[in-house]
Amino acid sequence: MIQLVPRQGVSNGWQIATPLLAVLATMVAGGILFAIIGYDPVAAIRTIFWDPLFGPAASYSRPQLLVKAAPLILIASGLAVGFRAGIWNIGAEGQYIIGGITGAAVALALYPLEAWWLFPVMVLAGLAGGWAWGMIPALLRNWFGASEILVSLMLVYVAQRIAAWMAFGPMRNPEGMGFPGSRNLQQYPSAANPELLTGTGAHWGVVAAALAVLATWFLMSRHIRGFHLRAAGIAPRAARFAGVNPQTLVAFCLGLSGALAGAAGLFEVSGPAGQVTAQLGVGYGFTAIIVAFLGRLHPVGILLAGLLLALTYIGGELAQLTMALPAATVQVFQGMLLFFLLGFDLLTRFQIRRSIAA
């Protein structure tokens, strides 16, 4: 008989090994899936995981890595803080959209003013928009006990509709010949979020993501607030006993993750996306959940996981172009990755022993 014996502590070795195992298992399972639907599994895996970095078109796709990884890392850093504390913000997608809209609103309202302070104010507006959208589930939970999971998720659908309304209504480009979508902020110098170093893909969002990784690392491992957050996630009563106010914690976590998601939205709308459209939300908010888990809710892990998932995005697009793989392949991959990770996680918490049945 096989027995599960809880480990005395959490195994550090397995902490690092399980994400790698999960990635490997995903590649194998993904290969099998490709074979089933009639693609060459080896070529497909290579196109997704290898070619974007080292393939023939790598010079085009490599910069894309940072462009896609930045929002993922920025959002996941905030989410991970909340997940550690047992506060489940799964509406980052909505906070991302609202942050993008509020940030863009500043620029669109002041157009065509050119000023050095415009972009910083937009960033603040993006942070504030995401923060406010995240505070809705926080306050509803604190005041009424409503589940932050369901409220934050419902607000994603609301945010998507607000984005559509903005694109078709209030924010529609007056010079856009009737097409939906706002002015293109990339063509508005003071409001644009340009590539900072040519050929790297690095824009201000990349800088912000790096700062977020550093800041959350400091918070979680050096500051007493991070300690309290972790305690609250494992043993809420012990955290209360230590002096943590659960309501403050809820507001802090949802506010922080909302603000970071909002900033990610702003950097996207002023940079790679360029404008507010109905399709402002492209799923970064959901993928960031996977990034957070794959990174073990640890800032450095999130950094690596963000890059890996960015790779699957680019690789997926590449595979769509060169092999005509369905676009949803990436989504399936990401879902599988999370599945395998959660499954292998058992190894970090339990030892598997064989016992001889009497």
Q: Which of residues 225-284 bind other proteins (CB under 8 A)?
A: 225, 227, 230-231, 234-235, 237-243, 245
Smallest distance, other proteins to C-beta of residue 211, A: 19
- Considering only 17, 154, 215, 304, the residue that binds other proteins (CB under 8 A) is 154
Q: Which stretch binds other proteins (CB under 8 A): 95-103, 107-115, 253-261, 347-355?
A: 347-355
The residue count for binding other proteins (CB under 8 A) is 73
Closest approach of other proteins to the CB of residue 35, in Å:
14
Q: Which helix or strand (DSSP H or E) is residue 5 part of?
A: strand 2-6
Q: How far is the CB of 286 from other proteins (least distance, A)?
A: 6
Token pair, residue 186, equals 């990339």
Residue 150 lies near other proteins (rule: CB under 8 A): yes
Please, which residue, 9 or 199, has the CB nearer to other proteins? 9
Binds other proteins by CB under 8 A, chosen from 12, 59, 117, 143? 143
- The dihedral over CA atoms of 156, 299, 124, 174, expressed in degrees to the nearest 10, equals -50
168 touches other proteins by CB under 8 A: yes
Q: How far apart, in whole angstroms, are the C-alpha atoms of residue 57 and residue 71?
A: 23
Shortest distance (Å) from residue 4 CB to other proteins: 7
DSSP E strands in 163-211: the ranges are none
Residue 349 interacting with other proteins (CB under 8 A): yes
The piece of 41-49, 71-79, 217-225, 260-268 that touches other proteins (CB under 8 A) is: 217-225
* Interface with other proteins in residues 50-109 (CB under 8 A): 88, 90
144, burial (CB in 10 Å: exposed 0-12, middle 13-18, buried 19+): exposed
DSSP designation for 197? S
Instruction: Return all residues near 75 (Cβ < 8 A) that are at least 6 apart.
Output: 92, 96, 257, 260, 261, 264, 284, 285, 288, 291
Q: Does 151 bind other proteins (CB under 8 A)?
A: yes
Hey, what are 17's tokens? Answer: 């090994």
Q: Does 144 help bind other proteins (rule: CB under 8 A)?
A: yes
Q: Which of 43, 58, 121, 164 binds other proteins (CB under 8 A)?
A: 164
Separation between Cα atoms, residue 35 and residue 77, nearest integer Å: 35
Q: Is 99 exposed, middle or buried (0-12, 13-18, 19+ CB in 10 A)?
A: buried
**Looking at 50-58, 187-195, 298-306, 341-349, which segment touches other proteins (CB under 8 A)?**
341-349
Q: Toward other proteins, which CB reaches closer, 169 or 199?
A: 169
Binding of residue 353 to other proteins (CB under 8 A): yes
Q: What is the largest CA-CA distance in the chain?
A: 82
Cα separation, 315 vs 219, in Å, equals 34
